[in-house]
Amino acid sequence: MDKLVDLSSKSETNSPIRVTSSGNASRFNGVPDWVYEEEVFSSDYALWWSPDATKIAFLHLDETAVDEYTYPVYNPTEDAHTVVPYPNHVVMKYPKPGYNNPRVTVHVFQLDEYFDVMRDLGDDANSTEIAQGVTAELYWDGMYRLEDSIIAEVAWVSGDAFLVREVTRAAEDGNVVYFDFRNTFRNVGKVVRKLGKDGEQGDDGWIDPIQAIHPLPPSLAPDGQPAYLDIVPTSSGYNHIALFSPANFSTPRFLTFGDWEVTSGILAVDANRSLVYFQAANPSSTQRHIYAVPLPKLDGQKPEEVKALTDTSSPGYYDASFSPEGGFYLLSYEGPHAPWQRIIHVFDDKFDYVLTDNPQLNDTLAQYELPIVTHSTIESDGYELNVLEMRPPRMDDSGRTKYPVLFRVYGGPGSQMVDTRFSLDWHAYLVTELQYIVVVVDGRGTGFRGRTLRNPVKNNLGRWETVDQIYAAKLWAAKDYVDPKRIGIWGWSYGGFMSSKVVEADAGVHSLAMAVAPVTSWRLYDSIYTERYMNLPAENPDGYVTASISNVTGFHHADFLLAHGSGDDNVHFANSAHLLDMLTAEKVRGFRFRMFTDSDHSIYRRGANRELYEFMTEFLLEKWGKGGKRRSW
């Protein structure tokens, strides 16, 4: 970001205002580098307007010291027959665990002051010098060294006040810092909230990468002081809505509570009715419902009961998008049945505008037999885990027919695969056409069931998740309708890592595994994600060994399929190359491997996605055959 253009009605010029002059190929203003876009903001911008449009907060990212990663592009065209004698190469700054991160600082450009100064100095003023003169770099006591700092969130809570959330690379300590631009020392902030073991989290887990700060409308702010809502873990480890009023207050005042979690941040605040709208994994962690809760009117007032706006009497998965003042919202039903959307008027129960109810999809679904989906839980080492099972229609569960079982896994920290959303994909084909059973188990480390379930994987990625997957496979192997010789597992990305870890464990229950674009060594993945869960390699050297694929003896004992795109800029192909090297050294030869030329992490280039799924389907049919095997009595 080297230029800003003010288009408001009070603008005194239509010319661009150059705010910064420091940008180059390695230094960015207002836009994130690769790792911040991927792991922190999940967006392509790093600037934030104040609510009254008088100021802009932005990040300056300097990745000069970040090491480069290079990979080839063998064919830049969409024609697979094109011959390119000298491939191009992509060179990207990609920080890996223990190596240099981008150095990030926070700045604020004060547009209102810029216009004041320009008006005073007249036409002869140098606009660039003035803009830089009213741009402040921010500081605060207790700042982490730039080498150890992650700026995790920036949020305005009024036209003059905003917050910065800073955490360490290991995401074990952090602060929320308050800035008030009405003060004389406006660029010096005050730490108002402490995060981590000695702060709001209060345990040995990580600080969740949540960006949920939501300012209260001025009409609801007491005495005109800014206030805001945030998602904060309670003492029992569940993420809930907390009020901080005024905004420089340190103690959260919880609006919601219970053994369930708020999942989407704050959807809206209705200032007229003093209501806060949100989505929650309640009454079951596999569901999503929309709720409202009143803002407290008095200090010390106990939180009021939340009110469900969706039908919680039957399983459902809902999302909502509210109008700016909360008077209307688009309600999206996402499962378990066919999705639909309606517009709801909060003041008129009779208002019911159907945006879409998918009649053609419902007609089509009525013509086919679909998988029979059941939800349940199992207990592994005292932890209750969510399970989804997809069975073929009209399956013989008497025990006379033995069916193969394919476990689908992701399992990354804070993730969720077991939910009640509508889905028809490749797994539905396996179940209905090939007569396989597909099972999904969300093990330790996964999300929306509190920090007690998430925290065990800290510094131990892959250990307890593997234990849970193997335990679940043994439970299914003992079922009357399951063929214990045909139990497999497959996953993509973190799921590919999990599939590989299960093979490495060599527990004797999985006869087949498929890994797509897997991480095989956490020293090869990006720094911000990995260090959040594993700390830095120098602080956890043994953990990095045990969390990676380090012993491939078990690969002799399973039918293994490996696939990866050579142009993967996220989980680099180096991960699969590393695993292939270890398999070569161990003389493991009975596996199947495909490199998909120039495909990125999604594996789509030049028809690769369909080919990948057909490749895996043929592998399953070759190793297991089709359907259940009926035995004679």
**Residues designated catalytic:** 493, 568, 601
Instruction: Taking the CA atoms of 425, 427, 430 and 433 in sequence, report the sign of the dihedral they define.
Output: negative
CA distance 510 to 305: 47
Give the residue among 215, 182, 85, 194 at the shortest CA–CA distance from 141: 194
Q: What angle do CA 119, 120, 122 make, to 5 degrees?
A: 65
CA distance 42 to 58: 16
At position 576, the amino acid (one-letter code) is S
CB 481 within 8 A of CB 402: yes
At position 219, the amino acid (one-letter code) is S
DSSP per-residue string spanning 70-93: EEEES--SS-TT---SS-EEEEEE
Distances (CA, A) of 409 to 165, 441, 493, 573: 32, 7, 10, 20
Give the residue among 567, 399, 414 at the shortest CA–CA distance from 483: 399
Give the residue among 477, 463, 582, 606 at the shortest CA–CA distance from 533: 463
Is 327 strand, coil or helix?
coil
CA distance 384 to 382: 7
Give the residue among 224, 260, 221 at the shortest CA–CA distance from 239: 260
Locate the DSSP E strands across 362-419.
372-380, 383-391, 401-408
Relative to beta strand 559-565, strand 512-516 is: parallel
Give the residue among 192, 222, 224 at the shortest CA–CA distance from 299: 222
φ, ψ dihedrals at 502, nearest 5° = -65, -40
Q: What angle, rounded to 10 degrees, do the helices at 494-505 and 463-477 form? A: 70
Residue-wise burial string across 336-373, b where 16 or more C-beta atoms lie within 10 A, e elsewhere:
bbbebbbebebeeeeeeeeeeebeeeeeeeeeeeebeb
CB 94 within 8 A of CB 35: yes
CA distance 46 to 277: 26
